[in-house]
Every structure is written in C-alpha cells, then in structure tokens.
Amino acid sequence: MCVNYVPVQRQLLRDVFGVEPPADEWRAETWKDYAAPIIVANGDGRRDSRLGTFGMVPRWRINEGIKVFDTMNARLETVGQKRSFSGAWNKGHFCLIPATAVYEPNYEAGPKSVRYKIWLRDAPVFGIAGLWRDWPDGTHSFTMLTVNADQHSVMNRMHKPGSEKRGVVMLPSEEWDDWLTCRDPEKARTFLRLLPEDAMMTEPAPMPPRKAKAESPMDSL
C-alpha cells in the first residue's frame, strides 16, 4: 500500500509522459486528499493529464454521519466488488499516477517506523497503475491499485510485522498506453504485478520533525 509519494513535476510530465501539465499547482509530496497529476486516455486514445485528489472518495465527499474511511489504495482482489472502486474498475477508468518515488513505513529498526523511500534503479520516473473518477462539479479523484507482496523481497520489508504486505504496481513504460486504453477489467488484471526486486532501490527517508504532533503519520500503517 502507499499513502505518500513524490509526484512528477511539470517538465518531466512533458519530457517523459508526453503530456501538457495541468494548469493548477501541486505539492512536492502527495498525501491523502492532496491534489496531484494523473494521466488518462482521452476519447481518441491519446494521453491527457488531469489534476485529481489522492483518494477515490475525498474526505469532504463522505456523507455526514459516516465514519471517515481511506480510499488511496484499491486491492486487486476486491476492487470489482468494493463500492468506492467498482464503478471505475468495471468502466475501465484506468490511469497512470506519475511518480519519482513512493514512501513506505519500515519497522526493521524497532517498534517505531522509519519512512523508506522506494524508487526505480534505471528510470527517473514511473507510472503507477491506478483508477480515476470524475465528480459532477468537474473535479477528479484517483486511487492506486495494490497487489500482494508477501514474497517480494523489497516490499515485504515494509509495514508492521505480521501484517499482509502490499505493493503498488509500477507499470513498465512499454505498457502505459495499453493500460490506459484497456476497457476490459479481466484483461486489466494481467497488467497488475510487481516489478522485480532488482529494479528497485530503497533508503531511509525519515519524516522531518513535526511541531504539532510527535508521531509520524507512518506509525499507524
């Protein structure tokens, strides 16, 4: 799973993904309910960028009286059944989430997590497989698809001991357009696999000190 990542900035969107960036700005790191760029296929199959909110159902769209829930990640095993994701999945609303790194919590040093940075060894950016939706007011939101990572020697080092290990899908660049234009949910499943361990790099990347809160957001993951 992933709730924090580094989105691609404007020039790399142009140079690597071949799209004109969204007009509005976005932050250097993305967390829940932050805006960040995504890439979708437009009506003629060409790539197009949009700014979307990280989390398929943003906090402010959850009805009053309903407990706040997280929708930054969608599990491959249940994506077609979960109400928050099934509409986009079954309609083939697939997107790329351009990133230079993702962050995950690591507990190897003790009971308190250390944030780890994960990126690709031989590529400056990658596209994470995601789903997107639009809203009646013309805004967009998105989620990252995740798969089991219990047997993956990089991703299985992340998150609390004893918990199921999950990983986002970093799609090879040669699969980007096929993923974006896919409209068959069953075919889409064939794209969703983890990259080999030797394609990834990791290093500790602790959160900067927080004045208002002693614990890192990673500690609950």
What does the pLDDT look like over 70-82, one tens digit per residue? 999 999 999 999 9
Are the beta carbons of 36 and 13 closer than 8 angstroms? no
What does the pLDDT look like over 92-124, one tens digit per residue? 999 999 999 999 999 999 899 999 999 999 999
**What is the residue whose two structure tokens read 């250390």?**
114
Question: Torsion angle of alpha carbons 144, 146, 149, 154, nearest 10°?
Answer: -10
Range of 50's domain?
A: 5-220
> pLDDT above 70 covers what percent of the chain?
95
Mean pLDDT of the chain: 94
Asked if residue 214 has pLDDT above 90, the reply is: no
Asked if residue 190 has pLDDT above 60, the reply is: yes
CATH of the domain at 136: 3.90.1680.10
- How many domains does the structure of the chain reveal? 1
CA gap 165, 55 in Å, rounded: 20
> pLDDT above 90 covers what percent of the chain?
88
**What is the residue whose two structure tokens read 């993923």?**
179
Asked if residue 139 has pLDDT above 70, the reply is: yes
Residue 9 CA: distances (Å) to CA of 77, 152, 168: 32, 29, 20
CA gap 156, 12 in Å, rounded: 30
What residue type is 214 in one-letter code?
Answer: A
Asked if residue 217 has pLDDT above 60, the reply is: no
DSSP for residue 30: B
What residue type is 221 in one-letter code?
Answer: L
DSSP for residue 111: S
Lowest mean pLDDT of 44-53, 64-73, 82-91, 212-221, name the range: 212-221
Parallel, antiparallel, or unpaired: how do β-strands 73-75 and 140-148 relate?
Answer: parallel
Residue 61 CA: distances (Å) to CA of 24, 52, 131, 137, 156: 21, 14, 17, 12, 33
What does the pLDDT look like over 164-184, one tens digit per residue? 999 999 999 999 999 999 999
Are the beta carbons of 49 and 13 closer than 8 angstroms? yes
Residue 182 CA: distances (Å) to CA of 24, 54, 185: 28, 22, 8
**What are the two backbone dihedrals, phi and then psi, of residue 24, each rounded to the nearest 5 degrees?**
-80, 165
The predicted pLDDT at position 209 comes to: 81
